[in-house]
Every structure is written in C-alpha cells, then in structure tokens.
A and B are shown apart, each in its own frame.
Chain A
Amino acid sequence: MSEFSISRATTISRAASLLALLLIVGLAAAPWWATRADLHLIGEFATYVALASLWNLLAGYTGLVSVGQQAYVGLGGYVLFTTALFLHINPLLAIPLAGVVAAIVALPMAKLVFRLQGAYFAIGTWVVAEVFRLIFAQVTALGGGSGSSLPVEAVRSIAASRDMREWLIYWTALVLGVGSVALVYGLLRSRIGLALTAIRDSEIASASLGVRIGQVKFAVYVLVAAVTAMVGSLIFLQKLRISPDAAFSVNDWTAFVIFIVVIGGIGTIEGPIVGTIVYFLLREFLADLGSIYLMILGGVAIVIMLVAPQGIWGFVARRFGISLFPTGYHVTWK
C-alpha cells in the first residue's frame, strides 16, 4: 500500500496566497505612497473586480445569467443618497444598509424572475432594472429624472479632513474588492460551493442526490444582490452625484462587467481579476475612440466566446494546470 496525502493547496497556490497578502498590504498602505489620482484608479479597479466576481458567481457558477445587476448597483446608490439627504448619518454606514435593503428587495424580485429560464431569465432581470430606473425617475424627492448631488454636509460627515475622507473611501473600496473575491472563494470552498459545482455539472443528478437547487440558486441571487448594492453605494459615494440613467446604466454596470468576466475567464475565481486588468489596459489606450472602443470590446467578447470560451485565465489554467484559488482537492502519492 503506497502512502498518499490529500490537500487543497499547491505550491503555486501557496505562493500566490503569499503574494496576494503582500499585494493587499501594499495596496492598503497606498495612501502613503500613491497620488490622489492613483487612489481613485485603484479604488475603481477594486469596485470592478468586485462587480465582476459577483456576476461571475451568479452566471459562471450558479448558471443565473443576469443582465440586470445594474438594478442593485443603482439601488445601492439610491440608498446612499436617501440616507444622506434624509437621515443625516455617516454615508459609510449607508453601505451595509444598502446591502440589507437590496437583500429584502431581491427576495420578491427573485421569486418573479425565477419563473423564467435561460435567456428569458436574463431579459427578465433587465426588465426589473428598467422598472427600478423608471420608478426612481418618478421620485422627485431624490431628484427625479435629472438626479441629485450628494450634500456637502453628508460628504463632510465621513471624516474631518479631505485626505481622511479619500482614504476611508479608498479603503472601503479595497475591502469590498478583496472581500468580494474572498467571499466567492470562501463560498466555493464550502458545502454550498460543492452544491454549485454539482448543479453546474448536472442539475438532474444533483437534484436526485438531495441538492436543493432552487434554494441554493435563490440564496446566491439574494446574496449577490446585497453585495452588489453595497458596491453600488460606494460607487456613487465616489461619484458624488446620482441620476436614474447613471445608476441603472446597462453599459456601465452590466456590459463592461460581462466583458470583463468573459475575457478574463468565466467560471474561474481568477478570471474576473484578469479580466479587469485587461479592461483597464484597453480603456487606457482605446477609450478615446468612443463608440469604436465599445465596438472593439463587443467584438473581442464575441471572438473569445467563439474561439476560447474559457477566457484568458481559463486557457492558462487548463494549459498549465494551475489554480491560484484552489477549491478542489487533489491526491499526492508519496
């Protein structure tokens, strides 16, 4: 009988964990070595990593392809502005509140859209987002169709100095970015993750084994909605201004996110991170082209889907057999 050991981590993943830790520490210390513009960029990067990881959890792992997540991004933004305009509490507290509100709203929404399947589900989520947009456009107290700006007192109540305010917002963005990836990773290593993988492989088989598919999907949808809304409230805290069109923009919160996940590698944890890097690089060089830039993004996404549907990271992982965030176990013979 030969000896063997079972483990999750590999040398590469351990190295990656160490590197990630160093990176996070370095980024946390950014207020001391980066410029204000850098902080903005890193913060924006973190919010897109968050949105992409969450969408990936929904579509890549749970099979719920939503093109309506902008509903919760905008909802989060409006929760922030509502608390700022009417409740006069520290806007940073609005972030967890947005999560709670979104979770509550997501419950009946999920019940509705789950009556649809596949691509019809996708469009259904889009309709929900449109309903949110149209309703908020009617609420004059929040600025109606033209929106409103964040009151100065609300901004001031975050912290005493402007620097401190920027840093707090930056750290919050970092927490949400790292936290979203950690959340997805943790979830996939748990029993829910096992259920999701089983569902992804075969719904019928997993159902016959007692996996409560409906409940798992429902729970993931609500969870993703909540965290997405938290990211949304942070986004609009940074923007200082909200309007229904900006809050519920399909382009900004869904099209770009989908692009990021597809190009990075759908159904992998590393994919959204890789995809966000690619997106920011492309934006750096091509954004001046305006609509042509968007057409290029669309074209690249189509080509990737046809030629390499597993995305950049999916290709790399399969080719070299590496995983930076291992969720499966492997046996090592001694």
Chain B
Amino acid sequence: MDWVNAVVQGVLVGGLYALFAAGLSLIFGVMRLVNIAHGDLIVLAAFVSLVMVEATGLHPLASLLLVVPLMALAGYALQRGILNHTLGKDILPPLLVTFGLSVILQNGLLEIFTADSRKLNAGALETASLSAGAGIDIGVLPLLMFATAVGVIAGLQFIFYRTAWGRAFRATSDDKEVAQLMGLNIGHVYGLAMALCLAVVGIAGVFLAIRSNFDPSLGPGRLIFGFEAVIIGGLGNLWGTLAGGVILGVAQGLGAQINPGWQVLAGHLAFLLVLAIRPKGLFPRIEG
C-alpha cells in the first residue's frame, strides 16, 4: 500500500515539477535560451509571496494575485534590459549571464532573508484530503497543485496555438529575420515570452512556498528538477513536460520508499536512464 501511495504522491508532485519546467520549456522553444537562474526566480517568487503574506495576513494562495503580475513585469524588464543583449549565435553569453544572475539572486536573498528555512501556511488546505478508496488518501493541496499544472499547460498551449501572441512566438522561433519583416519587434516578443514564463514561475513559487520548507539555496535544485522533467518528456512538448514531471516525481517517490536518502538521487538516475536509452526524451517535438 505504501508503494501505491508513493506512486500517487509522486504523480501529484509531478505536477509541481511540471510547473517548474513549463517556463523553461517555453523560453527554450521561443528563443533557444536556457535560464540558469530559473530555479532561483522560483525561489524569489516564493519569498515575494512570503513578504506579501506577512504584510497583509492574506491566505498564501491570494498572494498569487500580486506575485504573478509582479513576476511577469520583472520578466519583461529582465529580458529587454539584459537577456536580449546576450542572444546570438554564441551560447556562452546567455549561459554565463544567467549563471551570474543565479549567483546574485541566491546571495541577495541570503542577505535579505538569511538562510533560515521558511514555509507558508495554507491553513486547512494543507491537511485536508480526499479518500480514493483502498486506503489511499489524496491531499487536497497536492491535487490542487496538479490541477493547476494541467490548467497552466492547457493555458500555455491555448496561447501558443490559438492567439496572435502565440502566433508571434511561433513565427519568431521559426525565423527571426522574416518575423521582423512582418512587423514584429523581436525584442518586444521575447520580452512578452519571458513575462509569460515568469508568470508561470510566480505560480510555481507560491506553490513551492506552501508545499515545503524553502530557503535561498533551493534554486539550483528546482532548476535541475525542471530541466529533468523537460528532457524526460521531450523538447518542445508541454504535455510531454507534464509527463516528464510525473515520471520524475514517481521515480523520486519510489526511491524514497527504498531509502529516504535516495529520493533525489533516484530522480537523477531515472533522468540519466532516459538520457541513455531515449536521448530525445519520450515525446519530443523539436531538435535540441
């Protein structure tokens, strides 16, 4: 029974990992950029939520109303202010600049908030659970996280394939030069993409803050989980990323069942296994 429970919990936490990963996938799809500071931005969002909750006393989920637009704005500014100037044929500049950003974010948060572990209290939501029969309990919060992940991915798919915004993203990703000939300001399009990415990061950050203890050093770990979900699922496929997150979550859950110290390692090993036998991921759509 413990094993079944572990799988169920793994599936649900996979939703959170998919939330971590969705932004990464989106940005890579649109501008072939991998933001090393992605995980740290998730942690930043968690802290913004913390500040908001402590200031207003509102429920953590309500902080989404402020965190998401704030992060979106920050994303637009970050892209147009710094990241747009790194994009080009060389992979080094964006990688090294986002690496520097990661260091700055981590240490900045450390300075402001210290290394103390924090957590947001979602009240009754945290302990509420539904019974799925046969002794399996599904927490309402994990279920909500998973449902949010599905909703976010569905939303992103909708934006990408059914709106003018998404058309601009796809065209720019296909052919930057010709996209400009169609009147698209590439710098602005990229800014919008990053704004969208960080909006999702904002959602992920709030859920991270509610779900578990967090501190400034958590960034790289979240980046790696997101990255693993993307690679396992296959590049260029958001639903694949959800599947990747689920597989990662289940692998971690099973690993933890064997030995609690093996949780994260089991996830890494699952990732390496997929890399070894299916390098393009399980449901790939574009070339890396």
A residues in contact (CB < 8 Å) with B: 59, 63, 65, 67, 112-113, 115-120, 122-124, 126-128, 130-131, 134-135, 137-138, 250, 255, 258, 262, 266, 290-292, 294-295, 297-299, 301-302, 305-306, 309
Structural contact, B107 and A127, CB atoms closer than 8 A: no
Is the beta-carbon distance between A126 and B86 smaller than 8 angstroms? no
- Are A291 and B107 touching (Cβ within 8 A)? yes
User: What are the residues of chain B within 8 A of A297 when measuring CB–CB?
Assistant: 103
Minimum Cβ distance to chain B for residue A195 (Å): 20
In the complex, whether B92 has a CB less than 8 A from a CB of chain A is yes
A122 to chain B: closest residue by CB: B95
CA distance A268 to B224 in the complex (A): 31
Counting chain A CB atoms within 10 Å of each CB, which of B85, B93, B95, B102 scores highest? B95
Q: Which of A59, A120, A255 contacts B231 (CB 8 A)?
A: A120
Known: A126-B224, A255-B103, A258-B99. A120 touches B111 (CB 8 A): no
B101:A298 contact, CB within 8 angstroms: yes
Do most interface residues of chain A lie in helix, strand or loop, or is the interface mixed? Answer: helix
CA A128 – CA B85 in complex, angstroms?
A: 30
Contact A131 B269 (CB under 8 A): yes
Chain B nearest CB: distance from A22 CB in Å?
35
Interface of B is mostly: helix
Contacts from B to A (Cβ < 8 Å):
32-34, 36, 82, 85-86, 91-97, 99-104, 107-108, 110-111, 220, 223-224, 227-228, 231, 261-262, 264-265, 268-269, 271-272, 275-276, 279, 288
Which of A117, A123, A294 sits near B224, CB closer than 8 Å? A123
Most A C-beta atoms less than 10 A away, residue of B107, B228, B262, B271: B107
A65 touches B91 (CB 8 A): yes
Q: Within 8 Å CB of A117, what residues of B?
A: 288
**In the complex, chain B residues whose CB is within 8 Å of the CB of A266:** 92
3 A-B pairs with the lowest CB-CB distances in the bound complex, closest first: A119-B34, A298-B103, A291-B107
Supply 15 A–B pairs (Cβ within 8 Å), ascending by A.
A116-B279, A120-B231, A123-B227, A124-B275, A127-B268, A135-B265, A138-B265, A250-B220, A295-B108, A301-B96, A301-B99, A302-B100, A305-B92, A305-B96, A306-B85
Give 8 new A-B contacts, CB below 8 A, not counting A116-B231, A122-B34, A134-B265. A113-B275, A115-B279, A119-B91, A122-B95, A123-B36, A266-B92, A298-B100, A306-B93
CB contacts (< 8 Å) of B104 on chain A: these are 295, 298-299, 302
Q: Are A305 and B86 in contact (CB under 8 A)?
A: yes
Q: When A120-B288, A127-B272, A134-B264 are in contact, do A67 and B111 touch as well, CB less than 8 Å?
A: no
A245 to chain B, nearest CB (A): 11
**Is there an interface contact between A119 and B103, defined as CB atoms closer than 8 Å?**
no
Known A123-B223, A250-B220; contact A118-B34, beta-carbon cutoff 8 A? yes
> Which residues from chain A contact B110 at a C-beta distance below 8 Å?
291
User: In the bound complex, how far is the Cα of B62 from the Cα of A318, in angstroms?
Assistant: 55
How many Å lie between the Cα of A31 and that of B265 in the bound state? 45
Residues of B within 8 A of A299 (CB): 100, 104
> Which of B86, B99, B104, B269 is packed against the most chain A CB atoms within 10 Å?
B99
A135 / chain B contacts, CB cutoff of 8 Å: 265
B103's contact among A63, A115, A130, A294, by CB below 8 Å, is which? A294
- Nearest CB of B to A205, in Å: 14
Given A119-B95, A306-B85, residue A134 in contact with residue B107 (CB < 8 A): no
B107 and A131 form a contact (CB under 8 A): no
Contact A301 B275 (CB under 8 A): no
